[in-house]
């Protein structure tokens, strides 16, 4: 269980690094607290498996929340401009065709 908790802590830490300032401050603070507590328990070779399970679950939930928040921010920042529906390069050759399977 300690390996799973440590792995979850590492994944959450990596996710926080990747998001940087895009991570909501309250979620980031909670994630850092969970990571710290997990690392402390893992280093002390604790036998409190229930606590490690709870921390792992909490870190996974925070990770899902961070991913959702990041995708919502990305979607909000990607508003369509006046050329909505057109490709990034209007000069690129695009062929509209139908395909029939034999």
The verdict on residue 35 lying in a domain is yes
Structural domain including 58 reads 29-71
The verdict on residue 101 lying in a domain is no
pLDDT exceeds cutoff 80 at 102 = no
Q: How far is CA 41 from CA 11, 78, 94, in A?
A: 17, 41, 57
Confidence band of 90 (pLDDT split at 50, 70, 90): low
What's the pLDDT at 32?
95
The verdict on residue 84 lying in a domain is no
| Residue 44 and residue 5 in contact, taking contact as beta carbons nearer than 8 Å | no
Q: Full-prediction pTM beyond 0.75? A: no
The verdict on residue 59 lying in a domain is yes
Longest dimension (CA), the chain: 65
The verdict on residue 2 lying in a domain is no
Residues 6+ apart with CB under 8 A from 70: 19, 22, 23
pLDDT exceeds cutoff 70 at 78 = no
Residues 6+ apart with CB under 8 A from 46: 2, 52
The verdict on residue 33 lying in a domain is yes
């Amino acid at each position: 269980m300690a390996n799973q908790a440590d792995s979850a802590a590492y994944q959450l830490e990596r996710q926080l690094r990747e998001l940087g300032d895009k991570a909501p401050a309250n979620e980031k603070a909670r994630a850092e607290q969970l990571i710290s507590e997990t690392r402390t328990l893992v280093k002390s070779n604790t036998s409190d498996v229930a606590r490690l399970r709870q921390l792992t679950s909490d870190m996974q939930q925070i990770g899902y929340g961070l991913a959702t928040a990041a995708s919502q921010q990305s979607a909000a920042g990607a508003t369509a401009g006046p050329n909505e529906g057109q490709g990034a390069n209007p000069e690129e050759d695009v062929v509209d065709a139908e395909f029939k399977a034999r």
